[in-house]
C-alpha cells in the first residue's frame, strides 16, 4: 500500500494537486466557495480536460470522471483494488474524500454530506476543517519527545506534529478513522505513527507524553448519534474527563491542548464550571472561550453539519435537542481552547477568560509565552516585582481618549498589536511606566521617578502598584526582562 500511496503523492505533486495548485486552478471565487463547502463554482471551474481539474473533481468534489480523462499515470486498477475508487460504465468515482492540506500533506476522510445526500453513517470519519485548523494553530511549536493525538479522525493533527515530535501515538475509538488516517499519513510520507484503537486514554494505559493534543467529539447532545462529533457521554462530561485524566498521561513539564465545548447553565458561572475542571488537575491551566451560542443556534449548527435540515426528522430532532437543553437549564454553549501544563508547581495557576476577537496566528508560536506570563506574574512576590526589570510588549500602543481640547484624557488604553491583541484600560502610572520601562532599570526606582512627577507618595505607589502591574504582566503587556 505504501508504494501505491508514494506513487499517488508523486502524481499529485507533478499535477499540481496541492493547496496552491487547487486555488490557482479554481480561481478565488470558486476556491472561497469551496472553503464554505459550496462545490458548484468549483465543479464549473473544472469542466475541461485539464488533469488537475480532473483530480480535483474526482478526489475533492466527489464527482464521477470519465476514465479517458484520468491523468496519465493514475493507477486506476490498483486504486480500485485498494477500495479507494470504483469504476463503472467507464466512469471513476472515489470512495473517499482526499484533499491536499496546508502542511503540504494530504488528508483522507469520508465525504462531507450535503443536503439531499443519504444520511450519515454512525461511524462517519470527518474531514479536516475549521476546528482541525484551530487546534493545529493553537498547539505549541516547541519540539517534543512523545506526542499523543487523541481522537485522530482523518489523522490531520499528526500531519502538524510530524517533524516536531520524535514519536507520535494516535488513537481513535472508531477503527474506520484509523484506516483512513493511515492513508492520510501514507500519502503525506509519514511512516512511523503508532495508531491505536480505543476510547479516551484506554489505549495508552500508564503511558506519558510530552504533548497531548485533541480535537475531541465535543458536541453536546442528548444522544451520541455520530462518533465523529459526539462521545455519547453525558452533557460536556467528555471534555471534562479528558481534562481531568490528562495529567496522569503528561510527562513532567508536559502540555495538553484541546478544543472543547462547555455548558452555560442558568444560575452557574461558566468560568467556575470550566475553572473547576482545570483546578482539579493540579496543572497550570488556561481556558479561553472564543464563542458562545444560544441553544437554538447550537442545535441548528449541528443539524446543518449533518445535512439534516429539510429532512422529515428535522423538527423532531430539533425539538428533542432543544427540550433536553431546557430540561438541564442550559442557557448557552461555549466554544474554546484549553491548555494544561504540568509545571510541577505546588501553586498551580488557572486562568479562564473570554477572547472573542481576532488574535495573531498561529497562537502556538507564542502560547508557551502566554502561559509563562500568566504563571510567572502569579508567582511573583511584591518584593520580587519591585526588583524586576520590566519591558513593554513589542508593538504595544497607547490610546488616549477624551473630549477634544481636554488637557487630560478621560481614558488611557494600552493595546497589543501582536499575540493575543489584548487591550486594557490603565491609570497614569501604568501608562507612564509603559513609556519609560525598557528592561534596563528595576521597577522600584522607576516608580520613585513617576511618583516625583505625579506628586504621589512614593511609598504609597510602591504599595499599590504591584497589584495592577501583576495583572498587566499576566496579560502580556509587560515582560520581565531577563537579559
Ligand atoms: C472532531 S473529530 C477530530 C478529528 C481530527 N483529530 C481533527 O482534528 O480534525 C473527533 C474524533 O474523536 C473520535 N472519538 C469519538 N469518541 C471518542 C472516544 N470516546 N475516544 C477517543 N476518540 C473518540 C471520533 O471518532 C473522531 O475521529
- Cα separation, 280 vs 362, in Å, equals 28
- Residue having the nearest C-alpha atom to atom 7 of ligand 1: 132
For residues 450-478, one letter each, b for 16 or more C-beta atoms within 10 angstroms of the residue's C-beta and e for the rest, the string is bbeeeebeeeeebeebbeebbebbbbbbb
List all residues 6 or more positions away from 331 whose beta carbon is below 8 Å from its beta carbon. Answer: 264, 265, 266, 294, 295
Set of cell numbers at residue 324: 433536553
Q: Are 228 and 153 in contact (CB under 8 A)?
A: yes
Residue 174's nearest CA partner among 216, 135, 125, 128 is: 125
- Cα separation, 155 vs 177, in Å, equals 8
- Residue having the nearest C-alpha atom to atom 15 of ligand 1: 227
Set of cell numbers at residue 409: 484624557
CA 237 to chain centre: 19
Determine the angle formed by the axes of helices 443-454 and 458-474, rounding to 10 degrees: 120
pLDDT computed for residue 483 by the predictor: 62
- Residue having the nearest C-alpha atom to atom 13 of ligand 1: 151
Mean pLDDT of the chain: 96
The label of the residue with cell 505549541 reads: 140
For ligand 1, whether the C-beta of 184 sits within 6 Å is no
Confidence of residue 408 (pLDDT cuts 50, 70, 90): confident
Q: Are 295 and 330 in contact (CB under 8 A)?
A: yes
Q: Is the pLDDT of residue 110 over 70?
A: yes
pLDDT computed for residue 1 by the predictor: 82
* pLDDT tens-place string over residues 433-478: 999 999 999 999 999 999 999 899 999 999 999 999 999 999 999 9
CA 365 to chain centre: 13
* Ligand 1 atom nearest 135 alpha carbon: 8
Taking residue 297's Cβ as centre, other Cβ atoms within 10 Å add up to: 12
pLDDT computed for residue 115 by the predictor: 84
- Cα separation, 213 vs 215, in Å, equals 7
pLDDT computed for residue 118 by the predictor: 87
Spacing, Cα 367 to ligand 1 middle (Å): 24
Distances in Å between the Cα of 310 and the Cα atoms of 119, 295, 296 are: 12, 19, 16
What is the edge-to-edge ordering of all strands in the sheet holding 209-214? Answer: 193-197, 165-172, 144-150, 209-214, 250-265, 330-341, 284-293, 350-354
Instruction: Tell me whether residue 43 is exposed, middle or buried, using C-beta atoms within 10 angstroms of its C-beta: 0 to 12, 13 to 18, 19 or more.
Output: middle
Spacing, Cα 373 to ligand 1 middle (Å): 32
Q: Are 42 and 27 in contact (CB under 8 A)?
A: no
For ligand 1, whether the C-beta of 255 sits within 6 Å is no
Spacing, Cα 189 to ligand 1 middle (Å): 22
Best residue among 153, 201, 240 to mutate for probing ligand 1, ranked by most atoms within 8 Å of CB: 153
For ligand 1, whether the C-beta of 231 sits within 6 Å is yes
Residue 243's nearest CA partner among 279, 217, 194 is: 279
Confidence of residue 114 (pLDDT cuts 50, 70, 90): confident
pLDDT computed for residue 166 by the predictor: 97
Q: Where would I find the beta strands (DSSP E) of 141-249?
A: 144-150, 165-172, 193-197, 209-214
Confidence of residue 8 (pLDDT cuts 50, 70, 90): very high
Confidence of residue 116 (pLDDT cuts 50, 70, 90): confident
Percentage of the chain modeled with pLDDT above 70 = 100
- Residue having the nearest C-alpha atom to atom 6 of ligand 1: 152
* Ligand 1 atom nearest 172 alpha carbon: 22
Amino acid at each position: 500500500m505504501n508504494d501505491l500511496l508514494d506513487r499517488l503523492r508523486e502524481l499529485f505533486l507533478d499535477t499540481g494537486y496541492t493547496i496552491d495548485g487547487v486555488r490557482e486552478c479554481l480561481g478565488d471565487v470558486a476556491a472561497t466557495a469551496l472553503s464554505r463547502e459550496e462545490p458548484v463554482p468549483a465543479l464549473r471551474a473544472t469542466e475541461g480536460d485539464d488533469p488537475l481539474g480532473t483530480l480535483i473533481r474526482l478526489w475533492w468534489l466527489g464527482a464521477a470522471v470519465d476514465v479517458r480523462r484520468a491523468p496519465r499515470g493514475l493507477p486506476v486498477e490498483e486504486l480500485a483494488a485498494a477500495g479507494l475508487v470504483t469504476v463503472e460504465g467507464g466512469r471513476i468515482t472515489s470512495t473517499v474524500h482526499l484533499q491536499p492540506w496546508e502542511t503540504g500533506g494530504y488528508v483522507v476522510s469520508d465525504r462531507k454530506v450535503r443536503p439531499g445526500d443519504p444520511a450519515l453513517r454512525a461511524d462517519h470519519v470527518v474531514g479536516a476543517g475549521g476546528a482541525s485548523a484551530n487546534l493545529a494553530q493553537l498547539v505549541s511549536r516547541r519540539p517534543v519527545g512523545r506526542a499523543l493525538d487523541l481522537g485522530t479522525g482523518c489523522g490531520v493533527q499528526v500531519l502538524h506534529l510530524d517533524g516536531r515530535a520524535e514519536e507520535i501515538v494516535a488513537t481513535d475509538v472508531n477503527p474506520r478513522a484509523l484506516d483512513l488516517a493511515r492513508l492520510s499519513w501514507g500519502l503525506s510520507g509519514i511512516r512511523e505513527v503508532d495508531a491505536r484503537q480505543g476510547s479516551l486514554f484506554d489505549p495508552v494505559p500508564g503511558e506519558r507524553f510530552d504533548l497531548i493534543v485533541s480535537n475531541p467529539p465535543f458536541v453536546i447532545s442528548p444522544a451520541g448519534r455520530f462518533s465523529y462529533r459526539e462521545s455519547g457521554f453525558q452533557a460536556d462530561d467528555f471534555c471534562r474527563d479528558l481534562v481531568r485524566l490528562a495529567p496522569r498521561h503528561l510527562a513532567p513539564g508536559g502540555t495538553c491542548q484541546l478544543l472543547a465545548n462547555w455548558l452555560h447553565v442558568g444560575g452557574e458561572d461558566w468560568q467556575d464550571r470550566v475553572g473547576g475542571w482545570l483546578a482539579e488537575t493540579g496543572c497550570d491551566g488556561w481556558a479561553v472561550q472564543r464563542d458562545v451560542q444560544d441553544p437554538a443556534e447550537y442545535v441548528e449548527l449541528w443539524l446543518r453539519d449533518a445535512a439534516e435540515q429539510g429532512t422529515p426528522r428535522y423538527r423532531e430532532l430539533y425539538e428533542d435537542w432543544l427540550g433536553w437543553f431546557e430540561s438541564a437549564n442550559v442557557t448557552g454553549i461555549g466554544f474554546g481552547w484549553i491548555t494544561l501544563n504540568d509545571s510541577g508547581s505546588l501553586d498551580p495557576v488557572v486562568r479562564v477568560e473570554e477572547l472573542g476577537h481576532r488574535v495573531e496566528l498561529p497562537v502556538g508560536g507564542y502560547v508557551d509565552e502566554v502561559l509563562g506570563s500568566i504563571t510567572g506574574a502569579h508567582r511573583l512576590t511584591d518584593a520580587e516585582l519591585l526588583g524586576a526589570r520590566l519591558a513593554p510588549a513589542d508593538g504595544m500602543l497607547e490610546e488616549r481618549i477624551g473630549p477634544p481640547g481636554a488637557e487630560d484624557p478621560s481614558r488611557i488604553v494600552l493595546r497589543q498589536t501582536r499575540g493575543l491583541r489584548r487591550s486594557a484600560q490603565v491609570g497614569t502610572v501604568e501608562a507612564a511606566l509603559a513609556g519609560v520601562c525598557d528592561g534596563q532599570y528595576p521597577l522600584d526606582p522607576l516608580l520613585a521617578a513617576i511618583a516625583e512627577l505625579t506628586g504621589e507618595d512614593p511609598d504609597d505607589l510602591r504599595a499599590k502598584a504591584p497589584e495592577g502591574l501583576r495583572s498587566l504582566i499576566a496579560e502580556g503587556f509587560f515582560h520581565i526582562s531577563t537579559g
